[in-house]
């Protein structure tokens, strides 16, 4: 079974703090993703990475950065947390898109971040 | 990627089949139909996907109409643990994953 883990299920931070969200996958997947999910707005892509040290902006990268130093680990960084970054953060991984089933994304359990 | 339309909510009795519809009338020939579900406060979980043939796995069956404009996810014997939001999405290979609002399925005892 594919396993994607996230460092915290619940996190409470103060405005202006630097926040690290970590994600680890055990399937040797090349692609990893960070999303946020908000009521009424659905799933929105923040950043993704298709290889170690490679990253691409998603639809809402402002206020976020990412790091991928190892294939299995993808970190999301909030440089200076703000209240509008209160959300559910979801990490996902996906294998190389060259076989029938590798568009499937496998999600972690999510981190519910509250910024006060 | 094509837009999908799902009913906002459905109910099902425990032990009965749950049939969740999805319309994707603008789907193109190289787009797959994917189904995910999300149990409250957890991450989305992949269920099944297909291109044009019907598919079955240990979780569910997927029936795609011949014109590919709609599909139905079937949970053959729904349990209380199947209560979740179910998302239908169409996706070209390598494209971004997007979810709409999905269908809230409530399985009642």
How many CA atoms, within 13 angstroms, populate the side-chain half-sphere of residue B46? 22
Asked whether the beta carbons of residue A103 and residue B42 sit closer than 8 angstroms, the reply is no
Interface of A with B (CB under 8 A): 4, 33, 40, 42-43, 45, 58-59, 90-92, 97, 101, 103-110, 112
| Shortest Cα–Cα distance, A103 to chain B (Å) | 6
Cα separations in angstroms, A112 against A51, A73, A97, B46, B63: 26, 19, 29, 20, 35
pLDDT at A2 over 80: no
Contact B91 A110 (CB under 8 A): no
Per-position DSSP letters for chain B, written without gaps between them: ----B--SEEEEETTS-EEEEEE-TT--TTEEEEEEEE-TTS--EEEEEESSS-EE-SS-EEEE-TTSSEEEEEETT--GGG-EEEEEEEEETTPPP---S-EEEEEE-
pLDDT in tens, A60-113: 999 999 999 999 999 999 999 999 999 999 999 987 665 555 578 999 999 999
Find all residues with CB under 8 Å of B30, minimum gap 6, and list them.
Answer: B92, B93
Tens digit of each residue's pLDDT (9 = 90 or more) over A65-76: 999 999 999 999
Chain segment A16-46, per-residue pLDDT in tens? 999 999 999 998 988 999 999 998 888 899 9
Instruction: Note whether B43 contacts A4, CB cutoff 8 Å.
Output: yes
């Amino acid at each position: 079974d594919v396993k994607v883990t996230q460092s915290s299920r619940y996190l409470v931070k103060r405005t202006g703090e630097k926040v690290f969200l970590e994600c680890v996958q055990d399937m040797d997947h090349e692609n990893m993703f960070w999303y946020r999910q908000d009521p009424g707005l659905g799933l929105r892509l923040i950043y993704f990475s298709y290889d170690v040290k490679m990253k691409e902006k998603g639809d809402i990268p402002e206020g976020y950065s990412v790091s991928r130093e190892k294939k299995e680990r993808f970190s999301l960084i909030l440089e200076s947390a703000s209240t509008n970054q209160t959300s559910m953060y979801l990490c996902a991984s996906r294998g190389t898109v060259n076989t029938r089933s590798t568009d499937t994304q496998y999600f972690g359990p999510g981190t519910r971040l509250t910024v006060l | 990627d094509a837009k999908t339309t799902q009913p906002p909510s459905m109910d099902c009795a425990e032990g009965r089949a749950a049939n969740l519809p999805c319309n994707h009338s603008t789907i193109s020939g190289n787009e797959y139909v994917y189904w995910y579900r999300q149990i409250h406060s957890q991450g989305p979980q992949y269920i099944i996907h297909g291109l044009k043939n019907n598919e079955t796995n240990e979780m569910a069956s997927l029936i795609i109409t011949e014109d590919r404009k709609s599909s139905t996810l079937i949970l053959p014997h729904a349990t209380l643990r199947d209560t979740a939001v179910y998302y239908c999405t169409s996706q070209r290979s390598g494209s971004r994953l997007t979810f709409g609002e999905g269908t809230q399925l409530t399985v009642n005892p």
